């Protein structure tokens, strides 16, 4: 990930203003430690802090078209850039950067080119011919982006709050899948997939189609000119990412440069579930495995840095971000600059524990839609900022646009969790990769019981955070919480503790409004209680409230770590056109 900062129409083209923009841009240097650049055109400034992944030698930013009339600063990776270059035969490219296509696409197609980009991105484009500008963010919000407005009429854009919160009268998160045009002066959504309407799809489940779509999503993310690896917790999602990556790495440019043996990384407390499972998967796949240990005190000591970088006071996000933040520093110290991760699967396939209680396929599907739409406030924010804090880029194939379209077009009846039919959470994903002839993973890993990320790194992690918060937040403070924090009032001492730290770094009202509402679990809590009122008795944000449901579902259908159910007779085992399918057993 890179860091971008733009100040547009600030009515001040002085040297002092340029110095101030440079100062603010340096707050984002952790996102891009490799190079920095600043372009000024009158009272418009485009600054960039670069993390060089593709074309590190010549891809410095800002980027330009042929005559330098169109200027762009980009945080992102455009996976189909070579195809897009071929579609622009009359354009001359100054660099080999994947992001260089943006200026030329705008020159050719105007504002309507954004949907042509396959990748993750946040960018600001300045057209100096009429002093207009365009701002856009990727479909799901994998890259972070904020927009603010100054009293002088200026518009500010930055990858993180810290780049603009001191200068803007009001600021907020730039919505995913949207673009802002100065010509219209308003936001509009450019990303309009079929699933966005939440109309229930009816496409039959074909395991081979789903498998191929995900393999394609992983393979395209092997585009890199620098050392990389995979984050491996030993759970289903990260293990599938690692398995596919290890299969296809040998034939890539990256393998020729850095070797065909994949590096994998895991973090946890001593003896944690993730460390054990990840080691087993790494041994099975033959990766060069790196295991990082931390203590509860290490994590507690990092909390203030985590909140400063992640820019949230959401409890679950902070809990999960801290181990990832610590691991990212270790990974970067090894010279690795990019990792592939497994975020997004639970939202797409209904993998969270409360989905066990979904009353019907319609509710199940609509909840997955809502979860995907909120990812930029939670898991995407964590994955992007916890890694970017150390100049590391995270790529997330489950959130590939084409893969989401395939996965979200499947009749949600197939995603429903049905213990009586031996169908556990994310069953259709597990089944798609259950190949007897060429196994992707050992059977018990493919069907491993889900751990919440915060618990997977070690069961004492959450308890240690709660105990630490108890020492710093007393009962009297909690009695006055609604007066001190009237918006999103913290309801636990842990939440109060995080909120105090956040407000110290980001005291503005706009900052506190940028964090999603409720006691950090508003969306899933409301849905879980609606589906089963009994869950309201114990709604810890970690998901432990549902652990009884989760365990009982597995205890009935697991024998010695292996699922023993038979194939459901109605499951198609063809590729959708009548040819034999793979042998898939669950």
Binding residues for L-glutamine: 98
Kindly write down the DSSP assignment for every residue of 57-105, as one continuous string.
TT--SSEE-TTS-EEEEEEEEETTHHHHHHT-TT---S---GGGHHHHH
H or E element: which one contains 434?
none
For 519, the token pair is 């006691």
Distance CA 451, CA 57 (A): 41
Q: What is the dihedral of CA 466, 374, 143, 314, to 10 degrees?
A: -20
Determine contact, residues 490/481, Cβ cutoff 8 Å: yes
Determine contact, residues 431/586, Cβ cutoff 8 Å: yes
For 254, the token pair is 């990256």
Distance CA 542, CA 397 (A): 24
- Torsional sign, CA 368, 373, 379, 383: positive
**Chain centre distance of CA 132:** 30
Angle (nearest 5°) at CA 529 between 528 and 532: 85
Strand partners, 72: 63, 125
Strand partners, 37: 48
H or E element: which one contains 134?
strand 132-137
Number of C-beta neighbours around residue 483 at 10 A: 8
Q: Catalytic one among 2, 168, 369, 523?
A: 2
Q: Nearest Cα to 433, choosing from 277, 212, 114, 109?
A: 212
ω into 133 cis (within 30 of 0): no
Q: Nearest Cα to 442, choosing from 282, 574, 570?
A: 282
Q: Nearest Cα to 379, choosing from 337, 415, 346, 425?
A: 346
Strand partners, 74: 123
Q: Which residues are annotated as a binding site for ATP?
A: 231, 267, 341-342
H or E element: which one contains 8?
strand 3-8
- 332: buried, middle or exposed (CB in 10 Å: 19+, 13-18, 0-12)? middle
Strand partners, 229: 339
Q: Which residues are annotated as a binding site?
A: 98, 231, 267, 341-342
Is residue 2 flagged as an active site residue? yes
- Using CA atoms, how far residue 418 sits from 408, 487, 533, 572, 573, in Å, is 19, 39, 20, 18, 20
Sequence-ordered alpha helix ranges (H) in 447-576 = 453-456, 460-472, 475-479, 481-484, 493-505, 509-513, 522-531, 547-557
- 512: buried, middle or exposed (CB in 10 Å: 19+, 13-18, 0-12)? middle
Q: Which residues are catalytic, by number?
A: 2
């Amino acid at each position: 990930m890179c860091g971008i900062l733009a100040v547009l129409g600030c009515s001040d083209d002085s040297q002092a203003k340029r110095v101030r923009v440079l100062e603010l841009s340096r707050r984002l240097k952790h996102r891009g430690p490799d190079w920095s650049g600043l372009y000024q055109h009158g009272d418009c400034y485009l600054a960039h802090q670069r993390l060089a992944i593709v074309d590190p030698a010549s891809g410095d930013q800002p980027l330009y078209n042929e005559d330098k009339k169109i200027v762009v600063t980009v945080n992102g990776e455009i996976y189909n850039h070579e195809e897009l270059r071929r579609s622009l035969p009359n354009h001359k490219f100054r660099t080999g950067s994947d992001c260089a296509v943006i200026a030329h696409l705008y020159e050719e197609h105007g504002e309507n080119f954004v949907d042509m980009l396959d990748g993750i991105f946040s960018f600001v484009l300045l057209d100096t011919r009429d002093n207009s500008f365009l701002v856009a963010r990727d479909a799901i919000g994998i890259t972070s982006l904020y927009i603010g407005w100054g009293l002088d009429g200026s518009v500010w854009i930055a990858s993180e709050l810290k780049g603009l919160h001191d200068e803007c009268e009001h600021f907020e998160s730039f919505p995913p899948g949207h673009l802002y045009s100065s010509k219209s002066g308003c936001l509009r959504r450019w990303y309009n997939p079929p699933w966005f309407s939440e109309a229930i799809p009816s496409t039959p489940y074909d395991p081979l189609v789903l498998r191929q779509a995900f393999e394609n999503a992983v393979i395209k993310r092997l585009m890199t000119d620098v050392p990389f690896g995979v984050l491996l917790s030993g759970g289903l999602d990260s293990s599938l990412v690692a398995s596919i990556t290890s299969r296809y790495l040998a034939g890539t440019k990256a393998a020729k440069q850095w070797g065909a043996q994949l590096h994998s990384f895991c973090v946890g407390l001593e003896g944690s579930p993730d460390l054990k499972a990840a080691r087993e998967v790494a041994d099975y796949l033959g990766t060069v495995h790196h295991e990082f240990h931390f203590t509860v005190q290490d994590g507690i000591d990092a909390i203030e840095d985590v909140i400063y970088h992640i820019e949230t006071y959401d409890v679950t996000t902070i809990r999960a971000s801290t181990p990832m933040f610590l691991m990212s520093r270790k990974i970067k110290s090894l010279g690795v600059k990019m990792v592939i991760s497994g975020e997004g699967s639970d939202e797409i396939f209904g993998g969270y524990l409360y989905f066990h209680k979904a009353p019907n396929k319609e509710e199940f599907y609509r909840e997955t839609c809502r979860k995907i739409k909120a990812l930029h406030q939670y898991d995407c924010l964590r994955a992007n900022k916890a890694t970017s804090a150390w100049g590391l880029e995270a790529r997330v194939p489950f959130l590939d646009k084409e893969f989401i379209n395939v996965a979200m077009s499947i009749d949600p009846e197939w995603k429903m969790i049905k213990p009586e039919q031996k169908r556990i959470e994310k069953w259709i994903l597990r089944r798609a990769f259950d190949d007897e002839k060429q196994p992707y993973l050992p059977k018990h890993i493919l069907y491993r019981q889900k751990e919440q990320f915060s618990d997977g790194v070690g069961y004492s992690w959450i308890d240690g955070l709660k105990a630490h918060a108890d020492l710093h937040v007393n009962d009297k403070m909690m009695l006055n919480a609604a007066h001190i924090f009237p918006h999103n009032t913290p309801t636990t001492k842990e939440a109060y503790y995080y909120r105090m730290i956040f407000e110290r770094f980001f005291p503005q009202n706009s900052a506190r409004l940028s964090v999603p509402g409720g006691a950090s679990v508003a969306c899933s809590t409301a849905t879980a209680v609606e589906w089963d009122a009994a869950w309201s008795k114990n709604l810890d944000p970690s998901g432990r409230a549902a652990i009884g449901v989760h365990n009982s579902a597995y205890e009935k259908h697991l024998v010695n770590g292996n699922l023993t159910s038979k194939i459901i007779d109605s499951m198609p085992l063809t590729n959708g056109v009548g040819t034999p399918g793979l042998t898939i057993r669950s």
